[in-house]
């Protein structure tokens, strides 16, 4: 198998920071996504390579192994164990045999034959047994509105040309990642298939700001209701509800509506809270009669 330079696939160099890798993946994923290139086999292939590259480079442990061993990074630990055994044998025998002078950069694939002979066969005879290796993990992103994340629903999307339909539980969080086992790249030599990691991007829409399981919104309140009190209707994610406003409510007053927030992930029937902040509106254009009445009120207030 030809060596694939994951850094080149993502248009990065080896000094790229984690945030650079994330930005590069998002940019290229939008460009190469199969939904935008349904009949472009080359784009689909590049999208698959992009997911493979991101799965490795976005994982610090995998990236470190890849930087050291290149395409043989998944067998790097086996090589290190082999070296330890050789060192122990040399120490025991007092000799200097074994493998010496090996560098740390295997990205060029110079040691593919060495790995193949070391792990791919048995001494003696012509029979060969190849170890199975897990396929590459894939990463995908799904964008949701706040309304979509509020309810349990089905989502269909395409990863590497394969259509998947999943159930998204209510309360899924922004940036939350779930794993679909066995939905990544095929394994090699009978090894298990890789996994698919789906990250959800949930936008703060529908007039609410979400923080955890709580929701925040602002409600405009006319001056007269703020002073005298009364009933108003407030929007929630589940619809409008009636709310009593206490007399003398000040601008910026915050009230908590228990259990009217966002569903708690995988806890059926449990919700966070909704916090409503009142914004008292001061009348800008008063009639002559209103000015007269406000003048009288001002005079009464001064006497008190």
CATH of the domain at 182: 2.60.260.20
128 domain residue, yes or no: no
Residue 6 has pLDDT above 70, yes or no: yes
* Residues 112, 151 within the same domain: no
* Residues 197, 232 within the same domain: no
Residue 172 has pLDDT above 70, yes or no: yes
* Residues 145, 195 within the same domain: yes
How far is it between the farthest Cα atoms of the chain? 111
* Residues 113, 30 within the same domain: yes
Please report the pLDDT score of residue 101 as a whole number: 37
131 domain residue, yes or no: no
Per-residue pLDDT band for 88 (boundaries 50, 70, 90) equals low
Average pLDDT (78-82) is 65
Please report the pLDDT score of residue 134 as a whole number: 85
Residue by residue, DSSP assigns 55-66 as: HHHTSHHHHHHH
Chain segment 107-141, per-residue pLDDT in tens: 444 444 444 544 444 444 444 445 678 888 888 88
Report residue 245 as tokens: 């406003």
Query: What global pTM score does this model have?
Result: 0.57
Please report the pLDDT score of residue 70 as a whole number: 76
Please report the pLDDT score of residue 234 as a whole number: 95
Cβ(273)–Cβ(210) below 8 Å? no
* Residues 172, 231 within the same domain: no
Residue by residue, DSSP assigns 114-161 as: HHHHHHH--SSSS---PPPBPPPPEEEEEEE-HHHHHS-EEEEEEETT
Average pLDDT (10-29) is 90
* Residues 11, 116 within the same domain: yes
129 domain residue, yes or no: no
Average pLDDT (91-120) is 46
What percentage of the chain exceeds 70 in pLDDT? 79
| Domain containing residue 148 | 138-202
Cβ(164)–Cβ(106) below 8 Å? no
The residue that leads in pLDDT, 72 or 104, is 72
Per-residue pLDDT band for 229 (boundaries 50, 70, 90) equals very high
Number of compact structural domains in the chain: 3
Average pLDDT (163-191) is 90
127 domain residue, yes or no: no
* Residues 24, 91 within the same domain: yes
Please report the pLDDT score of residue 200 as a whole number: 92
Lowest model confidence (mean pLDDT) among 56-65, 128-137, 154-163: 128-137
Looking up tokens 């894939």, which residue turns up?
A: 138
């Amino acid at each position: 198998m030809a060596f694939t330079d994951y850094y080149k696939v993502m248009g990065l160099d080896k000094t790229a920071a984690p945030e650079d890798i994330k930005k590069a993946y998002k940019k290229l994923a939008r460009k190469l996504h199969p939904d935008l290139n349904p009949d472009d086999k080359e784009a689909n292939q590049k999208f698959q390579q992009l997911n493979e590259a991101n799965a490795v480079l976005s994982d610090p442990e995998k990236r470190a192994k890849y930087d050291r061993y290149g395409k043989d990074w998944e067998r790097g630990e086996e090589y290190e164990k082999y070296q330890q055994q050789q060192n122990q044998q040399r120490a025991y025998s007092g000799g200097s045999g074994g493998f010496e002078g090996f560098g740390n950069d295997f990205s060029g694939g110079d040691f593919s034959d060495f790995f193949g002979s070391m792990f791919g066969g048995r001494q003696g005879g012509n029979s060969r047994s190849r170890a199975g290796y897990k396929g590459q993990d894939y990463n995908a992103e799904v964008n949701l509105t706040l309304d979509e994340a509020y309810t349990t629903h089905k989502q269909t999307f395409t990863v590497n040309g394969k259509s998947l339909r999943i159930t998204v539980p209510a309360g899924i969080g922004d940036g939350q990642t779930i794993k679909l086992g066995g939905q990544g790249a095929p394994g090699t030599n009978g090894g298990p298939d890789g996994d698919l990691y789906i990250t959800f991007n949930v936008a703060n829409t529908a007039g609410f700001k979400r923080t955890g399981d709580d929701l925040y919104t602002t409600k405009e309140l006319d001056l007269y209701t703020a002073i005298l009190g009364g009933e108003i209707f407030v929007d929630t994610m589940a619809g409008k509800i009636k709310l009593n406003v206490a007399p003398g409510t000040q601008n910026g007053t915050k009230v908590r509506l228990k259990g009217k927030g966002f569903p708690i992930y995988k806890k059926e029937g449990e919700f966070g809270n909704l916090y409503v902040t009142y914004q008292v509106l001061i009348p800008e254009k008063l009639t002559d009669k209103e000015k007269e009445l406000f003048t009288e009120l001002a005079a009464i207030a001064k006497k008190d």
